[in-house]
Structure 1
Amino acid sequence: MHTRERILKAAAEMLADDVTTRLSVRAVAARAGVSVGSLRFHFPTQRALQDELLTRIYRHLAPDDPILDRSRPARDRLVDCLRQVLASAGVGEEARKAWGAAYDAFIAPEPDDKVRTAYLAFERAAAGRIEYWLGVLADEHALPRDDLSRNVTFLNTVLNGLSVARALPSGESVLHAETETLYMAVDAVLGAGATTA
């Protein structure tokens, strides 16, 4: 196995063992059986390693990215991408377990450096995924590029809220309410031309 792949495999195993683990350069290098210098050659910073690992995990979970299907309107593609994120959160008991695990890992413990680093890595991965989707649409001139950062934060906040709603008891169709909310959010991001984009 190529050194870069061994490093990523070791980091993924460490994360699977403990979601709050700090992927330090020394610890990952030791687990991969490579020198720190070799790891630094492939990943100059700890953040570069974390970002690559989380990007790979996402690509594995969602290999067919709807944002690339230019035969469909930008609005529908972006909603489908956001739905993929929600699908990974589950519904009902599955969503409650996921939020319970998130609470145990990131909210209940004292926010020390380990917890903060782990959470921020997940947050960067989520934001990076949304930023990529919006970047594709900006390249197609479906939205202006100058507000990407603000729109990423907005859409990530909407997704967090909807994923919490999936864990709570509901008297109405979760899918219907989610669909309306996602289209409202995407329309806000894409602007006035969203219904025809």
Structure 2
Amino acid sequence: MAMFGEDPGARLSVRAVAARAGVSTGSLRYHFPTQRVLQDAVLAGVYDVLTPGDRIHDRATPARERLIDCLRQVLSLAGVGDQARAAWAEIFKTYIEPGHTDENRAAYLAVQGEAQRRVEYWLTVLKNEGAIADGDNRRRARFLVTVLNGLSIERALPAEESILTTETETLHAAVDYVLSTRL
């Protein structure tokens, strides 16, 4: 996690992590057989540190509000204004500007995959409670992650209206759609 914190775009190879941790590559591969498994574990840990206390399990709050709160947690990581612009500039510099390479594609897909898995988890909790009809939570999560990506870009751009107002309207519309349809 320290390596990822130092350089979020870094490729976390099993060999580099093993060297940094002072363990053998074989020992690390026992626990993380592939680079993807290693990256997924690191990203899951980072996400848990950055967004502690998911409200998704708080049944005293309506499912709609819990899901919106969880999605807002993700958006809060994007920042607003200068912080959001700096974050998107870094994303552009890391994943878009250098062109598509296997390395930056894998790094981006690991980050995006973790966001997708987190949203799928929230949807599964709500589905198990009966708050969401049967359907494909993977597709629902992909839709919500796409909405989050768009909203995080809006946070970086100049706006005429209050970002909070338009963001709230968009989140409500997206969550209402997900909760009311069989995707």
Q: Please report the TM-score for the alignment, with normalisation by the length of structure 2.
A: 0.94
Tell me how far 1:145 sits from its aligned partner: 4.5
Tell me how far 1:147 sits from its aligned partner: 1.2
Task: Give 1:159's match in structure 2, choosing from 132, 148, 155.
Answer: 148
Equivalent-residue separation in structure 1 for 2:134 and 2:10 (angstroms): 35
What's the counterpart of residue 3 of structure 1? none
Name the SS for the 1:118 alignment partner. helix
Asked if 1 retains the 8 angstrom alpha-carbon contact of 2:133 and 2:180, the reply is: no
Task: Give 2:161's match in structure 1, choosing from 147, 165, 172.
Answer: 172
Q: Aligned in 2, Cα 1:46/1:145: closer, same or farther, shift over 3 Å?
A: farther
Equivalent residue pairs, number: 181
What's the counterpart of residue 67 of structure 2? 78
Asked if 1 retains the 8 angstrom alpha-carbon contact of 2:88 and 2:156, the reply is: yes
What's the counterpart of residue 104 of structure 1? 93
Q: Kindly report structure 1 stretches of 4+ aligned residues shifted beyond 6 Å.
A: none
Equivalent-residue separation in structure 2 for 1:102 and 1:154 (angstroms): 20
What RMSD over aligned residues (CA atoms) do the two structures have, in Å?
Answer: 1.2
Q: Tell me which amino acid in the other structure corresponds to 2:104.
A: V
What's the counterpart of residue 125 of structure 2? 136
Equivalent-residue separation in structure 1 for 2:45 and 2:94 (angstroms): 22
Asked if 2 retains the 8 angstrom alpha-carbon contact of 1:135 and 1:145, the reply is: no
Equivalent-residue separation in structure 2 for 1:115 and 1:139 (angstroms): 36
Equivalent-residue separation in structure 2 for 1:51 and 1:16 (angstroms): 14
Name the SS for the 2:88 alignment partner. helix
Q: Please report the TM-score for the alignment, with normalisation by the length of structure 1.
A: 0.88
Q: Tell me which amino acid in the other structure corresponds to 1:181.
A: T
Tell me how far 1:99 sits from its aligned partner: 0.6
Tell me how far 1:16 sits from its aligned partner: 2.5
Equivalent-residue separation in structure 2 for 1:35 and 1:146 (angstroms): 44
TM-superposition CA deviations, 1:28-81 (whole Å, max 9, x none): 111111112211221222222111111111111111111111111000000000
Matches within 5 A, 1:1-197: 12-191=1-180
Equivalent-residue separation in structure 1 for 2:169 and 2:118 (angstroms): 22
Asked if 2 retains the 8 angstrom alpha-carbon contact of 1:138 and 1:144, the reply is: yes
Tell me how far 1:14 sits from its aligned partner: 2.1
